Amino acid sequence: MDEPYDFGAIAAANAMSDVWAMGGEPVLALNLVAFPPQLSAATLAELLRGGADVVRSAGAVIAGGHSIQDKEPKYGLCVVGFGETGRLLTKGGARPGDSLWLTKPLGTGTVTTALKRGLASEGEVAAAVASMKTLNRAAARAARAAGAKAATDVTGFGLLGHALEMAEASDVRFRFDWDALPFLPGAARLAAEMVFPGGAFGNLEHFGPDATRSRPLTDAEAMLLADPQTSGGLLVAVPEAGEGTFLSTLEREGSRAWRIGDVGPGSGIEIR
């Protein structure tokens, strides 16, 4: 990100997502900063302010941290949260008959790569930044309310990699409907031009052989499934009886989700 405030805010939302992905609530966080001495103190202050504002909005606190000098600015947080015993979400809790829901659109990897190359429009970048700064708190609360047992946040391995982890841990088959997948503005256009971070190619090479396709995919479409996400949404396996509660809780929290498939017997992933 070019704006240090957005840099900090996205990093904080991304770091806290791990706690929400397990059905917990963040309580405190520690700043971890690597910063070049030639950049201004004002830049660092804005970065830290972005992180602090997002942590505060989640009801947690910054309890300190650690900083070092480095050639490239880096910022993240170590987050501690609490979860209720018996209601935690795990990668291994999906069951046949569950529906699969995604709480943020895909495409942050291709859009942010396009930003670096000067290929993304202002609107496309703004939509990606807004998505990355959005907290997964509402999604986690909706999952808990719906009685879900399985979830993960979609980050660096892309939808393909993180879904495969869940399917393997649950010993089930995830069946995705391509036409139901949500994408950020500009993602399809940029994908068609093969504008992707290097990690997308590695993800597809590593996870692609474990995904079957009953629907033909173009190279660009396959790459979008492997696109590494920063501060992506939650992938939640929702029991049929809990779907109404899941959606009503999201609506009450001012959030939404997309039904992108279902869980069946078997193993691995199917794109249909």
CATH number of residue 193's parent domain: 3.90.650.10
Can you point out the beta strands (E) in the chain?
A: 25-35, 61-69, 74-82, 99-102, 150-153, 173-176, 211-213, 234-238, 258-264, 268-271
Residue 91 lies in a domain: no
Residue 219 lies in a domain: yes
Q: Give the whole-angstrom CA distance, residue 31 versus residue 44.
A: 12
Angle between helices 158-170 and 198-207 (to 10 degrees): 30
* Amino acid code (one letter) for 136: N
127 lies in the same domain as 236: yes
CA distance readout (Å), 236 to 27, 52, 148, 243 = 23, 28, 7, 11
- 53 contacts: CB under 8 Å, gap ≥ 6: 9
Tokens 């256009």 belong to 189
Same domain, 45 and 180: no
Predicted pLDDT at 121: 96
Mean of pLDDT values over 122-130: 97
Q: Which of 230, 102, 237, 231 is nearest to 169 (CA)?
A: 237
What is the domain count for the chain? 2
Three-state DSSP class for 217? coil
Do 133 and 232 lie in one domain? The reply is yes
Q: Is there a contact between 170 and 94 (Cβ–Cβ < 8 Å)?
A: yes
Q: Looking at 21, 52, 82, which one is the last position of a domain?
A: 82
CATH of the domain at 75: 3.30.1330.10
Q: What tokens were used for 115?
A: 């930003």
Residues 111 and 164 in one domain: yes
Question: Per the domain annotation, does 154 fall within a domain?
Answer: yes
Does the CA dihedral 113-114-118-122 come out positive or negative? negative
**Residue 107 and residue 66 share a domain:** no
**Mean predicted confidence (pLDDT) in 179-185:** 98
Query: Which tokens is 129 given?
Result: 């930044």
Instruction: Return mean pLDDT, the chain.
Output: 96
Domain co-membership, 104 together with 194? yes
What does the pLDDT average to over 98-120?
A: 97
Residues 135, 264 within the same domain: yes
Decide if 55 is inside a domain. yes
Question: Considering the domain boundaries, does residue 51 fall inside one?
Answer: yes
Query: Which of 82, 110, 143 is the last residue in one of the domains?
Result: 82
The mean pLDDT value for 168-191 works out to 97
Is residue 88 in a domain? no
Per-residue pLDDT, averaged over 104-130, amounts to 97
Share of the chain above pLDDT 90, in %: 98
Domain that holds residue 37: 4-82
User: What does the alpha-carbon distance between residue 101 and residue 68 come to, in Å, rounded to a whole number?
Assistant: 40
Q: Tell me phi and psi for residue 263, to 5 degrees.
A: -110, 130
The tens digit of pLDDT for each residue in 201-241 reads 999 999 999 999 999 999 999 999 999 999 999 999 999 99
DSSP state of 95: -
Q: Is residue 211 assigned to a domain? A: yes
Q: Which residues of 34-62 are buried (b: 16+ CB within 10 A; e: fewer)?
A: ebeeeeeeeebebbbebbbebbeebebeb
Q: Are residues 106 and 172 in the same domain?
A: yes
Structure pTM? 0.95
Beta bridge partners of 268: 173
Q: Does position 1 have pLDDT exceeding 90, yes or no?
A: no
Residue 85's pLDDT is what? 87
Are 170 and 63 found together in one domain?
no
pLDDT band at 22 (very low <50, low <70, confident <90, very high): very high
Do 67 and 116 have their domain in common?
no
The DSSP H or E segment spanning 140 is helix 137-145
**Same domain membership, residue 105 and residue 70:** no
Whether residue 252 sits in one domain with residue 117: yes
